[in-house]
Structure formats: C-alpha cells, structure tokens
Amino acid sequence: MSKHIHLVSFLINSPINHTVLSWAQPGDNRLDALHDLRLWQDLARTLERGRFDGMFFADTPGVFDRYRDSHEDAVKYGVCWPSLDPVVLLSALAAATTHLGLATTMSTSAYQPWTIVRQLGTIDYLSGGRVGWNIVTGHLRGEHRALGLQQLDHDRRYDRADEYMEVCYKLWNSVKPGAILADREAGVFADPAKVEFIDHAGEFFSCQTVAPVPPSPQGHPVLFQAGSSGRGQQFAVSHADVVFSIQPNIAGMKRFMANLAEAAQAAGKVTPGVSFGIQPIVGGTEEEAKRKLADLVEKLPIDGCLARLSGTMGVDFAGMDLDQPLAEIETQASQGLMKAFANIEGDRPLTLREVAIRWGLAVGKPQIVGTPEQVASEMERVWRETGCYGYNVTPTVMASSVTDFVNEVVPILQRNGVYRTEYEGKTFRENLGL
C-alpha cells in the first residue's frame, strides 16, 4: 500500500468525460471548454490546489462506430465526439501549473515510437519532468478505420507493443549523462560521443537516428498502462510504473491486484502500483448526492450508452434483448465483461440494459455517493482494504464536481492523515513516490 492515497483526475477532451450526455446537465461548462483553453487551465489549477498527482486524459481516436454498425448515435449524443487531441492541451496546462503531473493516452497503433518520444519528451523537458504516458495498443475499430490500418489480433498487438517500447527505451537512453555541454566559448552544444545512434531493425519497426529530445529531470515520462487480460498484464508488469484499472467493486479490485501480483512474480518483476477508477458524487446530504446520481441516470439515452458499450467491447449490441442477462448473450466480449460485473448485485446477473446504463454513466467505474465525510471515509476504506495505490477520479458535471471534491473531500482526507498537504517533489515521478 502507498504511503498515502494518490489521486489522478480522469478526463477526456470531448463533450463528456465518462458520463453520456453530461454536457447537457445544467451548469456544465464542457461545451465552452471545447473551444476555450482558459477553462482547462482553471481546472488544472483547481486540481493542483487539491494536491492531485496528475491530470490524465484518456483518448478515443476515431469514433465509436460499432453500434448499429454506424457512427450516428455517437455523433448524435456527443459520445466522445468530437474527439479533440489531448496532447495539444498539455503544454498550455504545464504553463498554468507548477507541480501537477500531466498525462495522456497515446496509442501504439496511431503513432511511431519516435513521434511519441518527441512529442511527450518535448513537453516533459519544458515542464521540468511532469509528463506521463498511458500506453495503449489501440483496440477501437474506429481508430484503425480512421487511420487506414489493419487491426491486429489482441495478443499480436501486445507483441508489437513490446517491440515498440524497446525502441522507445533506446531513444530515451540515447542521450547519456553529460552529453549536453552548451559551451558558448567553445561553440560546442553537445558531445557526439555521448549521444548514441540508434540502429533498430525488428519485426515491426525500423529506427535509425538519435534521440530528438534531451531527457527531462525525471528521465522519461511516467508510464501508465491498463492491461486487464493475461497478455495485457504481462505487458503492464514489464513496462508500467502505475497500472490503471476499472473494477466495479472491492472483490473485483482484490482479484485484479492478486492476478497482477501473480503476473509480476512469474515475470520476475516488481508489482506496479494500481490506481482504480472511481466516480465520486458529493452532496450536502446523502439524499442530495443520491438525487444528483438519479438525475444523471434519468438523462442517459440508451442508444448513446449502447454506442459507448459497443465501441469499447467491439460488439454490436443492436437488436439484442435489453432485458436478457448479459451472461446469456452469446458474444465473446460479454463473457470477459461479466467477469467484472457478475457479482455487482450479489448473485443476480445484470441485464444488457443495466450494463449499458452503468457503462454510459461511468464506463463501469463504481460511484461513491454521499456527503463529503461519507465519500472520504469510503475512499479510505477501499484504499486500506485493497492496498491500492490510489484512484483515477472521473467527474460528472464540469467543473463543479471537481471543485466540490477539492473543496469538501480533500480537506477531510488531509485531516485524516491519508492524503498529502504539500507536494513532495518537483517531478511527476517524485510526487507519485516512484
């Protein structure tokens, strides 16, 4: 278990974060934020005031186009469309903050290793070492169709990603200590003997060059990963500093952590810390918080929820019986999904409708609903019981749900001695305790 709870804000640069139609909620500012950089900077400053480790952007390149084999429902309801580039935001957010880590998802399908090393390395260098990269192999059909790429099988994507990381490590290690001289008098910027030329020729990648960016104070960006399959966890324990996971309850969290520890042991690696996704919903009273949740659920369009679920799972759920238990629907994807969702309601299996609503509400993340004291208490309980590193905290209504959490929940966690009152270091890696 970590010394204290670590918190990362979990966002998407689109009309919603993880709640379908949240942009239509009264007071939500997300539509304005899509074209007003200052609102993102204000949010970053709020998170830094709340001593969050980082501000993390998931990404959905392309469009959700599985449901009804069409993009129309995703576009109609603004389900992660438009999908604006989160990487572009990071420099502006770095300029508005001093300590806050800044992380984004970048797909190994969409970018070459050199491009990611250059883009993220530039921001990491400029910010003094405050950048992180969530490594994904790219599972969305919409991403591959948008880029004109052939989609590899699941395990094959991870084989390719392993070699991808091999190239990244070579580039990150290309510039040796003492390489940068910046000697004005001699007119020598760098010692070529300390800048290694990379000559990589592998099964998937060829790269002959030197690193495009000098290393930042933290060496290279903090690496995050969210692999949940057996092959995905093998990849995670080999490369990730922190693993993200979405599990609907404590039983699922414990199961995930046990499986990850087993994978790490088998690989002879140290088990990375695990950060679980949650969606806090805070009210002045428990009844008020429950009403906020009910308002969100009441506005969820089922077709928008199914567009999100179908896109994520790679299965078109159109025409299927919404009130049939998902475990009984014969699709390969539903079996894996039910491993996480089977025991949410005791032994009662969830129907497709219920799973779609949960997916549309928070992409499977559990809600922690109640007063600030109740939310803080439950977060501490889960942290202690699971031994997790902390949480990826996704908001609902922007930006009020973030402000409420920072103003009302964070001080309680601090008073309870389970959350920092000041940042420990200057880099993302230092503040994460890595």
- Give the tens place of pLDDT for each residue, 317-372: 999 999 998 877 766 554 445 566 655 555 677 899 999 999 999 999 999 999 99
Three-point CA angle 95, 99, 103, nearest 5°: 75
Q: Spell out the domain ranges in the chain.
A: 6-432
Tokens 């989609």 sit at which residue?
A: 151
Is 59 labelled a binding residue? yes
Task: Give the CA distances from residue 306 to residues 69, 109, 140, 212, 350, in Å, rounded to whole numbers and listed in that order.
Answer: 12, 25, 15, 42, 15
Say how many C-beta atoms besides its own lie within 10 A of residue 2's C-beta: 17
Report the chain's C-alpha Rg in angstroms. Answer: 22
pLDDT score for 334: 44
- Identify whether the C-beta of residue 196 lies closer than 8 Å to the C-beta of residue 75: no
Topology (CATH) of 6-432? TIM Barrel (3.20.20)
Percent of the chain surpassing pLDDT 70: 96
| Beta strands at 131-136 and 242-245: parallel, antiparallel or unpaired | unpaired
- Give the residues of the chain that fall short of pLDDT 70: 330-347
Is 105 labelled a binding residue? yes
Predicted TM-score of the model (pTM): 0.95
Q: How far apart are CA 428 and CA 423, in angstroms?
A: 10
Is residue 349 helix, strand or coil?
coil
Closest CA to 394 of 261, 244, 259: 244
pLDDT score for 314: 87
pLDDT score for 161: 96
| Amino acid identity, position 35 | H
